[in-house]
Chains A and B, each alone.
Chain A
Amino acid sequence: MSKFVDRPRYLCALSGAIGTINALPGGVPILHAAAGCGGNIGNALNAGAGYLGSGYCSGQSLPSSNVYENEIVFGGELRLQEQVENTLKVIDGELYFVVTGCMVEMIGDDTNSVVKKFKNHDKPVLSAETGGFKGNSYKGYDIILETLFREFVKKTDEKNSKVVNLWGIVPVQDVFWKGNIKILKTLIEKLGYKVNTFFGDGETLDNLRDSGEAILNIVVSDIYGIEPAKVFEEEHNVPYISVQFPIGTYATEDFINAIADRLGIDKKFTDKLIYDEKKQFYSYFERLADIYNDIDLQRYAVIVGEVNYAQALTKFLADDLGWLPELVVITDLLNDTDGYKDIIKSRFTNYISEFTPNVVFDTDTSSVKKHLNKIWKQNDGSKYYDGFNPAFILGSAFERDLADDLGVPHLSVTYPISNRIVLDRAYAGFNGALSLTEDILSVLVNGR
């Protein structure tokens, strides 16, 4: 049985669905839900995701059936039909997507049947059940992708050997999603492939519609987007590979090698690419030789956040930056039975630096300090005490309180990020690692 969460770092499936549809070019969500669902979600998506804003048709503009007591008693299907009809008259979209909240599912509204009546509209109108009790934001992302793959992506037997699809970076939950997608797409393009990312710069709905021609789906996660990848394989006969979200030279090298292996790319070609990228990376990174060593910029670190970032940040800190990321708290809603926890734990082993972090799964914000107290001996009043300093916390805006308590600096890089403005910043790959280094070390030299 799941339990309560102390300050959750995600919302519900409906929220994930809305964030995902908004990230599609011309995507218009239509909520079949109680009135407050969209209001709550709009505020969270904006403030939690580095001030993402209301986008094309999110925030207060979200079309919504706003069901009340009357519909809860008598059913909301008529109200939904009216709402969809009128949305199609007022809101200019490329793809309309009806998503449901808890209430209409609990009263048994048949949303899909209502939406089917609009199948002849000149723009597609899809629907999915995304009631909040079904899971968190990541679940909503998966549900939307699965629906798109089943109902929107065109079936084709003709595959294009130079096209791949990439997903697994969840819009909003990865606050830097757009920049990250851009970086990973560019890297794979350097391998000679066209990459559909659905949510990145320059994407069109046609790219998504035609994505069935790809020869490989690249899921940049151990858990997010995996179920949709299975659906894609079943529907369109395209296999998938799961790779870890990469930050830094070692992780990105692994990322490129894993994909290149799978695509059967000549090893010499990828070695050259990686060599060039690393050389470029170090042409900047070498600037740190002085300041890092002059003022001793090595730190202990605590990392708090979702699976994708937790493993990427930790590996980057340990293997590229030479830090000591002692504690990693993974805050996803995971159960013990699906086997994911073992896979995830294995991502924190075999570091080049031979460093081994302590990894725990815990959804609660108040737990981070408790875990730190468990792994790091408290001062018992000794004159000589090997304290947890100098240290640094990489987490969300929630970790600022912990940072204040411990008297250590902090940078928000995982959701929610309410204390930074994020536009096209990215932390993925080689280039992203440079930005991350800038952001972390800038905190440390801020007072100089």
Chain B
Amino acid sequence: MDYIREKAPPVREDRLKACNAFGGSCCELGNQSKKGCLNGIKRTFAQTQGCQLNLSLAILNTLRDVVIVVHAPIGCGGSSVAVAGISKGFKRLRDPYAKGLIWLNTNLDEADVINGGEEKLREAVLFAENEFRPSAIVVANSCAPAIIGDDVDGVLSQLQSQITAKIVPVHCEGFKTKIMASAYDAVYHGILRNLLRKDDDEENKIIEDDLELIKEQYRVSRTVNILNVSSMSIFDEKELRKTLEGLGLKVNFLPCYSHPDDFERVEEAALNVSICATHDDYFVEHLKEKYGIPFVLRSIPIGIKNTNKWILDVAKFFRIDEEAQRYIDSETRELEKAIEPFKKVLEGKTAFLAGGEMRVLGTADVLHSLGIKVLGMKGYHYDKFGDDLLDELPENEKVIFNVATGQPFEQANLLESLKPDIYVGHIGGNGWAAKHGVPVFPIFGQAVNYMGYGGVYEIARRLARLIRNPIFNKNLSNYTKLPYFDKWYKEDPFKYIDDSFLKN
């Protein structure tokens, strides 16, 4: 894979044939996916969703010592108010002096969409430099400047010679893709092009003697980069770090909550370890191309089975799989015993899950090991990275899979007919599920442990707590109405998914 010479990465429809509209069984989805024919399905009725810019900001907003410039009319990036308040606290878990979230919006108005917005972009970047002196200025480009033809890269490369902050253009124009996850590629593309050590950079390490050189080489040979995601917590990081450090490895976390300079050292690792294939494939493939660093890109460490696999994948690379297996055996023994009391209360319950493809499939495994039956799932998008997990799902011909970025109307129909005991879901969709009266368990949280063995215990513990008193949502369902006609619940939940092109 080598797209780095391009200004912008390809969108995921083109690169991965990813899809965001499907309804059927998990088994059918897997088959269709392997045939490569999911891409191109559309909806004739749709509800809103996020775009690449929204999701790019979810990652970019975590970076420390950075100012973000959203080059757009005044509304774009407005959802950053949802994290502005918590950003500083989370950043300070990594650096006690970190500043809070700072972003500028270039405020393109009617005159600018006619005359171009390059001058405003220039002013905003210069202001960011002079006012805040950040290590990097990230420019997130939106739909409007792309249509009016602003030469964003031209303006920024000119500015780069005048300022010390590293400028990182991120091409995440919303209209270009239906697949929000294209944002991951857009952000990594910007990082790969602008924050990695340049090929012609002077080697700035001074090696005093051979012993030090050998020590340094040894350090690198035992170091892994774990690629984190913005939906995980510091507790998840601690859990994963503890596991790999226990096996004698050194661990760096990238890209979320990193300092821009951290990316210069990305090459000082023997292995890149993804925890979410659909998040990282673009980055690890390019790092392999550029630095020859191999990668692990398969499983998400959510659930016992997936965590075991994740650890073993890493361990095999370092030829420490025997030690790892011993560690896994002892950890799982202890964990199985610890979740026993929760299993007693959760056994036989049913669930519906919604969220990112990998997280949903990983969480399904957790629920399964707690004796909870998964009736259906909704993935925000679907691509080949889900295929293995889908295959391993027990009774996957019976489990419904809805591929939908948001689209709570399809979910409402499904929830009314499936009537699960528990809903596990994503921010933005949880409130809608709540109005069905079902207890809701958030599928991620930046203040809880969800990954690794500790995560399984936490999920079990919290689920058992949640069902002890589910009356809040029951009350809500008695006094609120969802915005759908009654007749909608009697229709095919996937009525408005138009897959006619598949049949042609």
Contact = CB atoms under 8 A, between A and B. Distances in A.
Interface string B35-72: 00000000111111111111000000000000001001
Nearest to B77: A40
B103 interface: yes
Given A8-B74, A40-B78, A53 B48 contact: no
A289 to B, nearest CB: 36
B39 to A, nearest CB: 13
A133 B46 contact: no
B431 A66 contact: no
B100 A401 contact: yes
A72 B44 contact: no
B175 A86 contact: no
Interface stretch (A87-95, A181-189, A244-252): A87-95
Contacts, number: 244
A217 to B, nearest CB: 28
Contacts of B82: 43-44, 46-48, 418
Interface residues of A, number: 75
B394 to A, nearest CB: 30
Interface stretch (B221-229, B344-352, B483-491): B483-491
B406 A39 contact: yes
A348 to B, nearest CB: 26
Interface string A57-100: 10111111111110010000000001100110111110000000
B293 interface: no
A102 interface: yes
A224 to B, nearest CB: 16
B175 to A, nearest CB: 4
Contact of A132 (B48, B73, B405): B73
B48 A38 contact: yes
B474 interface: no
B439 to A, nearest CB: 18
A59 B120 contact: no
A60 B51 contact: no
Given A40-B54, A103-B143, A4 B81 contact: no
A333 B406 CA distance: 33
A36 to B, nearest CB: 2
A4 B484 contact: no
Contact of B406 (A57, A60, A133): A60
Given A90-B409, A102-B73, A60 B432 contact: yes
B10 to A, nearest CB: 12
A72 B147 contact: yes
A132 B74 contact: yes
Interface in B75-117: 75-79, 81-82, 84-85, 88, 100, 102-113
B73 A400 contact: no
A59 B428 contact: yes
A2 B120 CA distance: 9
B165 interface: no
Nearest to B486: A92
Interface in B394-414: 405-409
A370 to B, nearest CB: 9
Contacts of B148: 106
A41 B79 CA distance: 6
A131 B73 CA distance: 9
B265 to A, nearest CB: 30
Contacts of B49: 35-36, 38-39, 60, 64, 66
Contacts of A133: 73, 108-110, 112-113, 144
B127 interface: yes
B70 to A, nearest CB: 9
A31 B48 contact: yes
Contact of A86 (B78, B113, B496): B496
Contacts of A41: 75, 78-79
A60 B488 CA distance: 17
A418 B496 CA distance: 36
Contact of A61 (B120, B176, B409): B409
Contacts of A65: 46
A315 B122 CA distance: 39
B369 interface: no
Interface stretch (A10-18, A152-160, A207-215, A317-325): A10-18
A87 B180 CA distance: 23
A61 B411 CA distance: 11
Contact of B54 (A8, A36, A87, A132): A36
A3 B128 CA distance: 13
A134 B110 contact: yes
B470 interface: no
A444 interface: no
Contact of A11 (B74, B124, B174, B180): B74
A4 B67 CA distance: 13
Nearest to A36: B51
Nearest to A105: B113
B111 A39 contact: no
Interface centre among A13, A38, A400 (most CB of B within 10 A): A38
B46 A83 contact: yes
A72 B47 CA distance: 18
A441 interface: no
A34 interface: yes
Contacts of A91: 409, 483-485
Contacts of A87: 45
B429 interface: yes
Interface string A127-161: 00001111111000000000000000000000000
Contact of B48 (A39, A86, A103, A136): A39
A62 B50 CA distance: 12
A163 B27 CA distance: 63
A40 B46 contact: no
B339 to A, nearest CB: 32
A47 B79 contact: yes
Given A35-B174, A36-B52, A36-B53, A3 B74 contact: no
B85 A34 contact: no
Nearest to B115: A1
B175 A106 contact: no
A67 B73 contact: no
A56 B480 CA distance: 9
Nearest to A10: B74
A311 B339 CA distance: 58
Contacts of B47: 38, 60-64
Interface in B209-240: none
A135 B485 CA distance: 34
Contacts of B51: 34-37, 39-40
B77 to A, nearest CB: 7
Interface in B108-142: 108-113, 120, 123-124, 127, 131-132
A14 B75 contact: yes
B54 A66 contact: no
Contact of B105 (A5, A43, A107): A5
Given A39-B49, A57-B483, A86 B44 contact: yes
Interface of A: 1-8, 10-15, 28, 31, 34-44, 46-48, 53-54, 56-57, 59-69, 72, 82-83, 86-87, 89-93, 102-103, 106-107, 131-137, 333, 366, 397-398, 400-401, 416, 418-419
11 contacts: A36-B53, A39-B406, A41-B75, A42-B428, A54-B428, A90-B496, A92-B484, A131-B73, A133-B108, A401-B88, A418-B81
Given A4-B106, A61-B408, 15 more contacts: A4-B69, A35-B50, A36-B52, A37-B48, A40-B75, A60-B428, A61-B483, A68-B177, A72-B175, A87-B45, A90-B409, A91-B484, A92-B481, A132-B74, A418-B81
Interface of B: 43-54, 69, 72-79, 81-82, 84-85, 88, 100, 102-113, 120, 123-124, 127, 131-132, 143-144, 147-148, 174-178, 180, 405-409, 428-429, 431-432, 481, 483-485, 488, 496
Please give me the 10 A-B residue pairs with the lowest Cβ-Cβ distance, nearest first: A36-B51, A38-B48, A12-B75, A47-B82, A86-B45, A43-B79, A39-B50, A132-B73, A11-B75, A11-B78
